[in-house]
Structure 1
């Protein structure tokens, strides 16, 4: 793995846990600008019947700590100029967000865990799974990338992401913009304008800020090429992609599949950049199968007198 800059400042991370702490652990990490409340409740409920589910609130969002002001127009302008990964203006990288996850599981006393990441969360989860040792029992990414130095956003998608970082102080303006983006990114899933506005208003009430969004986007764009990290992932892995993803090209998922040893690849048709029930049901079954296989392997080792 290559050398990457790490910001030393530690940021408080909000954690939510569900299920029996004695069950196998699954850590969930969401994407750019997202918060724990955006995991579908049915998915969390079903997963927590089999696992101890730990939801991580990424820094700069929700109830986690902030690494800068709520509005940061200078940083927004900086993003337009395609910043370099070695620029001193970068508050943190995906590697710092990886360390947030590791600090969180350490705080909970979790020794081994599976990790699932959506979008930016998939990029963070890749780096967690790439860590040496055998803590990660399984890895899954949904609608994410392949460790590229510059994430494979479509031009239309990146223009929308930049617009959010540049929005003014008007709450109504921000709700309108977020609602339009939700409808666009989730397509072909149907989300009415009223539903999108309600969701956007909830995002603001629970801790969304344009400044935090800009800093997270900067971390995505300024963490360098991570191909070697993906090649080092040894845990059972699955790559879930969406055929109609308007945000991150399916090429990124293909690249992850090519780089991660022994990975499985599942592509869903009729799915945009979203957490669709069909994909989450498939993922739940896959995690259960991997957990069963890991338990059987551990039992065989114990039967043969191995610690």
Structure 2
């Protein structure tokens, strides 16, 4: 369903849509990563949270999926922004991660949810950190998965990952876009738990057919690069925090998750062998084994 939040249209899926009894249950707000849509959350993860007694709210971040796009803000020059960042300068972004955190809080407002457990992956973890900083009274708990503090000096993505990220599809058709995305997900995926190629093709095709807006992803990426103050603020987070990271993550190396956990007072750190930058079934099972007790402990 489409809702109006923080002045923009945001596509939302809410457990209470399908079953009104969920409206009275504690909410878990799931925030997806760079360029990814709400359908990227594994169904088994959503189901497990619902069976544990939680109202699950997912949404498309601004500029991707079925939420508002910001094409009037122009196409960013990521190469120039990357060069400025390496020189110690802050590139100008069309919007910030703080703006995206305000979107997330706007979703809660629109659904009349006062407080929620906030769970984010990758860029979504960064946004979740911003939510916990902006609205501590509304954040029952924080879970940051395969994300980072954004501190300068942390290890960067492996060279082959950078090449995959900056490469372009061989054509503009759906088949070319799907093939390109599959190669990227295989590059950043979990070496210990590779997703079968047929399954990955099916999943990527469904995402591309639902919505494909790469310039929005580029603007999101610029918001990530420009968010240079978050690391110094993480010590202010008061929400009980769980940090989860794969030991084999080639996009956001393990040290980034470890740094996040060090900076947030009392944060627990779960590291998973063989997990890369995706959510295959076995890592999801291990995440849930830690996540659900984490949520229940902060009820």
TM-score by length of 1: 0.83
Q: Distance in 2 between matches of 1:208 and 1:62?
A: 7
The answer on 1:233 being equivalent to 2:230 is no
Aligned to 1:208, what secondary structure does the other structure show? coil
Q: Distance in 2 between matches of 1:168 and 1:78?
A: 24
Mapping for residues 116-131 of structure 1, pairs under 5 Å = 116-131=119-134
The aligned counterpart of 1:42 is 44
Q: 1:150 Cα shift?
A: 8.2
Choose the corresponding residue for 1:213, options 217, 225, 228. Answer: 217
Q: Distance in 2 between matches of 1:192 and 1:70?
A: 38
Gaps of 5+ in 2: 1-5, 17-21
- Compared with structure 1, are the counterparts of its residues 190 and 133 closer, same or farther at alpha carbon in structure 2 (3 Å cutoff)? closer
Q: Distance in 2 between matches of 1:244 and 1:118?
A: 16
The aligned counterpart of 2:90 is 85
Choose the corresponding residue for 2:284, options 276, 280, 305. Answer: 280
Q: Distance in 1 between matches of 2:270 and 2:136?
A: 27
Gaps of 5+ in 1: 1-8, 296-307
CA contact (8 A) 2:91 2:225 kept: no
- Compared with structure 1, are the counterparts of its residues 96 and 168 closer, same or farther at alpha carbon in structure 2 (3 Å cutoff)? farther
The aligned counterpart of 1:18 is 15
The answer on 1:255 being equivalent to 2:248 is no
Aligned to 1:153, what secondary structure does the other structure show? coil
The aligned counterpart of 2:99 is 96
Q: Deviations over 1:112-152 (max 9, x none)?
A: 11000111100100111112542111111111112325885
CA contact (8 A) 1:33 1:208 kept: no
- Of stretches 21-30 and 77-86 in structure 1, the one that deviates more from structure 2 is 77-86
The aligned counterpart of 2:200 is 196
Q: Distance in 2 between matches of 1:214 and 1:150?
A: 23
Aligned to 1:15, what secondary structure does the other structure show? strand
- Compared with structure 1, are the counterparts of its residues 241 and 13 closer, same or farther at alpha carbon in structure 2 (3 Å cutoff)? same
Q: Distance in 1 between matches of 2:153 and 2:98?
A: 15
The aligned counterpart of 2:34 is 32
- Compared with structure 1, are the counterparts of its residues 150 and 213 closer, same or farther at alpha carbon in structure 2 (3 Å cutoff)? farther
Aligned to 1:44, what secondary structure does the other structure show? helix
Q: 1:197 Cα shift?
A: 2.8
Q: CA RMSD in A?
A: 2.5
Q: Distance in 1 between matches of 2:251 and 2:286?
A: 22
- Of stretches 284-293 and 32-41 in structure 1, the one that deviates more from structure 2 is 284-293
Aligned to 2:167, what secondary structure does the other structure show? helix
CA contact (8 A) 2:84 2:91 kept: no
Q: 1:187 Cα shift?
A: 3.2
The aligned counterpart of 1:305 is none
Q: 1:71 Cα shift?
A: 9.4
The answer on 1:108 being equivalent to 2:111 is yes
Q: 1:162 Cα shift?
A: 2.5
The aligned counterpart of 1:148 is 151
Choose the corresponding residue for 1:135, options 130, 133, 138. Answer: 138
